[in-house]
Amino acid sequence: MVRRILLGSQLRRLRESRGVTREAAGYSIRASESKISRMELGRVSFKARDVEDLLTLYGVVDGAERDALLSLAREANVTGWWHSYGDVLPGWFQTYVGLEGAASGIRSYEVQFVHGLLQTEEYVHAVVTRGQPEAPRGEVERRVALRLERQKLLVSERAPDFHVVLDEAALHRPYGGSKVMRGQLRHLIEISERPNVTLQVMPFDFGGHAGESGAFTMLSFPESDLPDVVYLEQLTSALYLDKRDEVAQYERAMERLHKDGLTPGRSRELLARLAQRA
């Protein structure tokens, strides 16, 4: 899924830079305008012939550039591990899990919860049961297992650089009772010592700040020609932004959150105080 999105994004930018309409692009591969739209959103599989024809239409003649995009097209049709959790994973979030797994850098601001990659198993269980109170036990356990599987990313050989800013509100909002919260706070202290993890807290006493619009995540990728993606989660869907001007606004907001939040050291001190009180 992630490769489909990245390839679709690349094809869209090439098409727009050449001033080609979706209708004309569709005609060139014997398809409809709507199929081009679905391809550019990463919602359909890619045929090598279609990609080759579109690259020719868009004037991509450099062999290395063509080969890179055709290789991405082949990879785009490979099924990710998360598809085995399709029974509890909505399609719009499958996209995010795929992007998360491919990212070399993840920057996030969270308000309501501790970030999913940093949650203890007990905290995950409390969050899932609160959010899905009618879900049968088996479904709850599947959802918990999925989140724990995602967390392996942070300790893998290709672990991304992960920089998270947690609003202090998330640290005071109890999930699962005081014992669970105490364990969660201690886990945050421990994992924040990892070299690829930077954790900051945005304290109450700072007042208004750059995260006023709510939680968001920015994903960066190792391929230099791939744009950053901003992820905005909603109750039943999500938005994926990759247009340069939109991403730039979130970039500025993230930089201000990093500047205005407590330093990693002071954040750990706050976490320690809260853990003692929990």
* Across 29-46, average pLDDT: 88
Cα angle 53, 55, 56 (rounded to 5 degrees) comes to 65
Task: Locate 194 and state its tokens.
Answer: 């990892």
Contact status, residue 186 vs residue 130, Cβ threshold 8 Å: no
Mean pLDDT of the region 55-81: 85
Q: Is there a contact between 3 and 76 (Cβ–Cβ < 8 Å)?
A: yes
- Res 217 pLDDT > 90: yes
For residue 195 the two structure tokens come to 């070299």
Q: What is the pLDDT of residue 251?
A: 97
When pLDDT is averaged across residues 153-158 and rounded to a whole number, the result is 93
pLDDT of residue 262: 97
Greater model confidence, 81 or 85: 85
- pLDDT tens per residue, range 223-275: 666 788 999 999 889 998 988 899 999 999 999 999 999 999 999 999 999 99
> Residue 31 — pLDDT band, cuts 50, 70, 90?
very high
Q: pLDDT by residue (tens digit) across 94-123?
A: 888 988 988 999 999 999 999 999 999 999
pLDDT given at position 203:
95
The reply to whether the predicted model has a pTM over 0.85 is no
Structure tokens at 7: 């390839």
Mean pLDDT of the chain: 91
Secondary structure of residue 35 in the 3-state scheme: helix
Burial of 121 (0-12, 13-18, 19+ CB in 10 A): middle
| Mean pLDDT to the nearest integer, 49-66 | 92
